[in-house]
């Protein structure tokens, strides 16, 4: 088993990757600039967290594509310029309502699209509900796991664009968890990271 987390080094990345709550889910941490020095084919999963500067990842676009074409798994969370370093991404940003829950009868609109998916043995709808930053137009054959209030995908698994697997979300849990802002994001990671380790961290996919 091997999970590599790309570690850009911001305070919220340090809090997420280096403190005891989640550190054990990652076998190796690497700065974006170090990716060329890593044998990615030895990694079952490569995680790229929220708000990783695209100018630090774009130089490795071909390397990441080669990793996917060898059957690798990339997990990429929100507030990233996805198309700068990933193939087959069509993302539409949306204005963020930071204080939606203060409105009477508030409902952000997030819905689980595939409740039978193994991820949702660990996560409830409220664990995916904090802010919306945008949605994706997903390729035919991708598995949409969660949607916004208009039914647009915000979390999906793509095993059709490449020979590998991309788990893509516009949700930004590492940023909020590491900022100690939004308890739902910690609940999300409490469920998502064990699922990543147990379900995605398998060579059988390749």
Q: What is the pLDDT of residue 1?
A: 63
Residue 106: closest CA among 124, 138, 130, 87: 130
Query: CA-based Rg of the chain, rounded to a whole angstrom?
Result: 16
Alpha carbon of 9 to those of 4, 51, 183: distances in Å? 14, 11, 22
Residue 76: strand, helix, or coil: strand
User: How far apart are alpha carbons 198 and 194 in whole angstroms?
Assistant: 6
Domains of the chain: 3-205 (3.40.50.880)
Q: Which residues contact 54 (CB under 8 A, 6 or more apart)?
A: 80, 81, 84, 85
CB atoms within 10 A of CB 94: 13
CA distances from 106 to 30, 109, 110, 129, 194 (A): 40, 9, 12, 12, 30
pTM of the predicted structure, to 2 decimals: 0.95
pLDDT tens by residue, the chain, 206 residues: 699 999 999 999 999 999 999 999 999 999 999 999 999 999 999 999 999 999 999 999 999 999 999 999 999 999 999 999 999 999 999 988 888 877 888 899 999 999 999 999 999 999 999 999 999 999 999 999 999 999 999 999 999 999 999 999 999 999 999 999 899 999 999 999 999 999 987 755 54
User: What is residue 206's predicted lDDT score, i.e. its pLDDT?
Assistant: 44
What is the helix, strand, coil percentage profile of the chain, to 5?
Answer: 40, 20, 45
Structure-block tokens of residue 84: 């700068």
Q: Check residue 194 and give its pLDDT.
A: 97
> For residue 142, what pLDDT is reported?
98
pLDDT computed for residue 99 by the predictor: 82
């Amino acid at each position: 088993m091997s999970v590599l987390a790309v570690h850009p080094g911001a305070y919220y990345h340090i809090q997420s990757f280096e403190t005891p709550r989640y550190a054990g889910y990652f076998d190796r941490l690497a700065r974006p600039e170090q990716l060329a020095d890593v044998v990615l084919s030895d990694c079952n999963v490569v995680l790229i967290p929220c708000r990783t500067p695209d100018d630090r990842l774009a130089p490795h676009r071909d390397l990441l594509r080669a990793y996917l074409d060898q059957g690798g798994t990339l997990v990429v969370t929100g507030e990233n310029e996805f198309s700068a370093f990933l193939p087959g991404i069509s993302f539409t940003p949306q204005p963020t309502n930071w204080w939606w829950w203060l409105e009477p009868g508030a409902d952000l609109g997030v819905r689980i699209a595939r409740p039978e998916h193994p991820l949702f043995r660990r996560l409830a709808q409220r664990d995916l509900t904090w802010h919306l930053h945008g949605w994706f137009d997903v390729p035919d054959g991708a598995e949409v796991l969660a949607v916004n209030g208009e039914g647009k995908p915000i979390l999906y698994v793509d095993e059709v664009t490449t020979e590998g697997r991309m788990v893509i979300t516009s949700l930004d849990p590492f940023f909020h968890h590491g900022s100690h802002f939004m308890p739902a994001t910690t609940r999300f990671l409490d469920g998502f990271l064990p699922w990543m380790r147990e379900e995605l961290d398998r060579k059988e996919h390749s």
